[in-house]
Structure 1
Amino acid sequence: MTQIVSQALLAPEQIPLYPASAIADFGSTLIVAPHPDDESLGCGGAIALLQQLGVSVEVLIISDGTRSHPNSRRYPAPALRDLRESETRAALAVLGDKVAVTFFCLQDGAVPNRNSADFNFAVTRLRDYLSSRDVQTIFLPWRFDPHPDHRATWELLTTAIDTANLSLRQIEYLIWDWDPLQRKNSNLPPNIKPWRLDIGTVVDLKQQAITAYRSQTTDLIDDDPEGFRLTPEMLANFAHPWELYLEQT
């Protein structure tokens, strides 16, 4: 990951801090999450603030989240998908009572990238989805995020935006870049500007939304020893009174 992004997590005072009111003019906003919970982890504060400011917000969940506990017998894929969708609805109800959500239901762990045979089909679906909405600002996962589903989600959405000839304000958020074992080296594009959003007034709501994902934060699913869990150490990276964003200028 680029030096400026890495330093932003270690020395956030080097990155401009915008007040909560800075997002009042975002207009109708779409938050795109590769997995159920990414929207709360990366943008929970922004969602809550947008709702408080009366800005329309919709969340699009790209994958079904069923690879978090692949060996669970109590929660086979269909049951886990239903559970994670219910957790998303519970989390968004915390952040605001008017947040719409759409589940795109692509396979977790296999979100198609540019080299995938089904990439163009997914792009077409997303283009139709975007064209049916009046979106002015879109939040996307960081294009160089270590997780392949996150990078593929960025590729899908930006391709869909281009093919639909839409002009949207594009803002990217980070999820896995705090981890030096996963972080990759890449050059920050010259047209990308990092900034932080002050979410101090809603950080407690963000934390409540994250904890709504009990399948990811607790031992709710205890019959898969290889299942994923967000540890307290991981969650500490999402407890700041600010959120870090990277915006294409």
Structure 2
Amino acid sequence: MTMKNHLQQLQKLMPNQWLEKLQYLHSKLLWNWLLFAGSQKLGLSQKSAMVFSPHQDDETFGCGGMIAQKRALGIPVVVVFLTNGAGAEALNQDAQNHIIETRKQEAIKALEILGVAATDIHFLAKADGGLKKLENEEYQQIIKQLSAMINYYQPEEVYVPHRQDCHQDHEATFTLVKTAIKAANIQVDFYQYPVWLFWRSPLFILLKLQDIAAAYRVAIAGVQEQKNRAIASYSSQLQSLPSGFVKQFLNDHEIFFKTED
């Protein structure tokens, strides 16, 4: 049995409240270490940005402050959602459609708070939970679609979830976008943002120090309240997310990891 399987078994046996307390402590310790010792200060750049989000809320949790600061200065920011956000539960089509539309409207509202116009928001509506299971034809189609969007907008910075973010759609988004950038043949500053990384990846077990190297901290105190309001817009999601998980994003910094290759 692999270490990952051992951890999954342990999580099943541990009461939820204790598991959440442990995850919150782990996340808080990692955030504090990165903020005060393990990261470099990164000032806000004047570069245009594209944010790729697997689900409707990841962009706000991971990049909401950066987005708000850039938009306040009139810097272009485009946000692309890869999945429809329907979730993995076995629901009838009407119920799924309701969830999809609810999350879409929440995303539009959240990004309006952050300063992104509806015309700069794109919904690719791929199956939630299916980005790692794309058949070859659909895989090639999404790479072509992403590459065309990147070529059209010509962003100077691209933001994706961390490559080890402990969610299949998040990790697949990293790979898909990186492949699309290569196909588009353009040079960009490539940043990874953590969503589930600190919550689900135990340090020195699943998460290695090299996975969180090249960390940068961005101060967002001036737009912190704005970001918090945008997070609150995702009311359908906040009902099911652990409070400690949400709390880690209600602070005055964001963490990014820069990829050079």
Match of 2:245 among 211, 234, 246: 234
Task: Show the counterpart of 2:97.
Answer: 78
The offset of 1:185, in angstroms, is 2.1
The offset of 1:248, in angstroms, is 1.6
Mapped contact 1:146–1:182 kept (Cα < 8 A) = no
Alignment of 1:15-164 (within 5 A): 15-16=38-39, 18=41, 22-25=43-46, 27-67=47-87, 70-71=89-90, 76-96=95-115, 98=117, 100-112=120-132, 116-117=135-136, 118-164=138-184
Segment drifting more, 207-216 vs 187-196: 187-196
CA deviations over 1:4-63 (Å, ceiling 9, x no partner): x996424220134536xx2232x2211111100000000011111111122111110111
Task: Show the counterpart of 2:5.
Answer: none
Match of 2:188 among 140, 165, 168: 168
Task: Show the counterpart of 2:214.
Answer: 193
Distance 1:91 1:75, change over 3 A: farther
Distance 1:240 1:6, change over 3 A: closer
Distance 1:64 1:205, change over 3 A: same
Mapped contact 2:86–2:99 kept (Cα < 8 A) = yes
Task: Show the counterpart of 2:237.
Answer: 216
Residues in 1 aligned to 2:52 and 2:32: alpha-carbon distance in whole angstroms: 26
The offset of 1:197, in angstroms, is 0.4
RMSD over aligned CA atoms reads 2.7
Segment drifting more, 119-128 vs 191-200: 191-200
* Identical residues among aligned pairs (%): 24
Distance 1:95 1:242, change over 3 A: same
The offset of 1:119, in angstroms, is 2.0
CA deviations over 1:154-181 (Å, ceiling 9, x no partner): 1100001001111111011000012246
TM-score (structure 2 length as normaliser)? 0.79
TM-score (structure 1 length as normaliser)? 0.83
Structure 2 unmatched runs, 5+: 1-26
Q: Does 1:202 align with 2:223?
A: yes
CA deviations over 1:85-123 (Å, ceiling 9, x no partner): 10000001111154621001111011136x843322211
Distance 1:162 1:74, change over 3 A: closer
Mapped contact 1:44–1:206 kept (Cα < 8 A) = yes
The offset of 1:65, in angstroms, is 0.3
Segment drifting more, 175-184 vs 233-242: 175-184
Structure 1 unmatched runs, 5+: 219-228
